Structure 1
Amino acid sequence: MPTRDLSHPLDDDVTVYPGDPAVERAPAATHEADGYRVTEIRMGSHAGTHVDAPSHTEPDGGTLDAFDAARFAFDARLVDCSDKRAREPIRPGDLPDDPDADLLAIRTGWADEWGSDAYYDHPYLSEAAARACAENGCCVGVDALSVDPSPSARGTERDGEPAGVPAHHTLLGSERLIVENLTGLSGLPDRFELRAYPLPLPDADGAPVRAVAVW
């Protein structure tokens, strides 16, 4: 059974959403001083490859521990949107009419920009496209920082970009989970299982995942 890790490493160079905590690691115990090794890790709940709970944007939304673990193993359909340019919207016409899947794994190609300022200028899901996903019962995974436009590190925002996080509201308000910062989507089969189990943090608005494709 082939598998592929779709997760970015949680190293010190993790790209985080502007304003989110950076990932920091420091020795808490060492072989030399203590006879064993322990690492202290500090990070935000949306660091690296992660899943968003409805409570991320919805005041009355559920937290991750409200979902059974089985909800994080998705029947995924790959959608190639790698022809989209920087900060260009993904529209309903770019998505399949009848997804017949639990999750659309949207490949923008922006994972190749990980660690650079260009990563913030990813394509994004229009509110109408997010609504189409929600109405079709689909969660969304994306190889980009967010399903909504991110603040640009280079000042390249475009006129007409939506304010706030409308795609998040549309999806999470319908209890459609969002997986962000995927990588390695290129070359996957059109259908696969995406296993994206979050860390078991109580009352979590989101959590890092080890995202793995199985087919």
Structure 2
Amino acid sequence: MFRDCTHPLTPATTVYPGDPTFERTPHATHDEDGYCVTRLELGTHSGTHVDAPSHTEPDGRTLDSFPVETFAFDALRIDVRDKAPREPIERADLPDPTDDELLVFHTGWDDHWGTDAYFDHPYLTADAAAWCADRDYHVAIDALNVDPTPTENARDDEPDGVPAHHELLGADHLIVENLTNLDGLPRRFRLSAFPLAVEDADGAPIRAVAEFWGEENVARRTDEPTD
């Protein structure tokens, strides 16, 4: 079974404050040119996307330096839907180590997509991110950012900057952000997150697709129930 976990790119797509918005304009039309071409303008971190280490690390690798098979992950979904706005995801929220490749933090924040509330998402502490990196996990989340996003609701005890990004990207791991449609997925699944083939990219939009084997087969494959 396959499930699309991608937010469509539209003019209303939520972006990190200050990032380029997504725009599409006609370049050629059937009426005037006999064919249709659309001009797209967007940032490398628009919509559902993957961050390369070069996003925050001056000497970090770009996406095109990773083998294409890197972007097909054995994923483990971590249910943190009980987290409140701007509440940290801490080391204590993480599972015992497994042989999976990607930890997918399921916050449920995709329900707020397109609203101001989307910016006040839960986030990973630097300690939690370092634990993931030390155990060779890439990280994904169904929210705008693995670090807190600046808003007027920021708390005094929140970290400055992007420490979770530094812990993960600085250790040559990838970050997938703005996933959606995680409800009902089994705890373990495959996630394909292939980026656009942009030269020297610090990040790129992806088509994120979860593959799983049906509720009747998941328990046999993973010995764990769905929720």
The alignment's TM-score, normalised by the length of structure 1, stands at 0.98
Q: Paired residue for 2:37?
A: 38
CA distance in 1, matches of 2:98, 2:106: 15
Instruction: Specify the code of the residue in structure 2 equivalent to 1:81.
Output: V
Unaligned runs of 5+ in 1: none
Q: Paired residue for 1:72?
A: 71
Q: Paired residue for 1:103?
A: 102
1:115-156: CA deviation from partner (whole Å, max 9, x where unpaired): 00000000000000001101111000000000000012xx11
**4+ long deviations beyond 3 Å:** none
- Stretch moving more, 96-105 or 123-132: 96-105
Aligned-residue offset at 1:99: 3.0
Q: Paired residue for 1:27?
A: 26
Q: Paired residue for 1:128?
A: 127
Q: Paired residue for 1:63?
A: 62
RMSD: 0.6
1:17-44: CA deviation from partner (whole Å, max 9, x where unpaired): 0010000000001111111111100000
Q: Paired residue for 1:115?
A: 114
Unaligned runs of 5+ in 2: 213-227
Instruction: Specify the code of the residue in structure 1 equivalent to 2:198.
Output: L
Write the mapping of 1:135-214 to structure 2, written as runs, cut at 5 A. 135-152=134-151, 155-214=152-211
CA distance in 2, matches of 1:114, 1:100: 32
2:35 alignment partner, SS class:
coil
CA distance in 1, matches of 2:54, 2:154: 27
Q: Paired residue for 2:221?
A: none
CA distance in 1, matches of 2:117, 2:8: 19
Instruction: Specify the code of the residue in structure 2 equivalent to 1:80.
Output: D
1:145-187: CA deviation from partner (whole Å, max 9, x where unpaired): 00000012xx111111000000000000111100000001111
1:25 alignment partner, SS class:
strand
Aligned-residue offset at 1:100: 2.2
The alignment's TM-score, normalised by the length of structure 2, stands at 0.93
1:55-78: CA deviation from partner (whole Å, max 9, x where unpaired): 000000000011000000010000
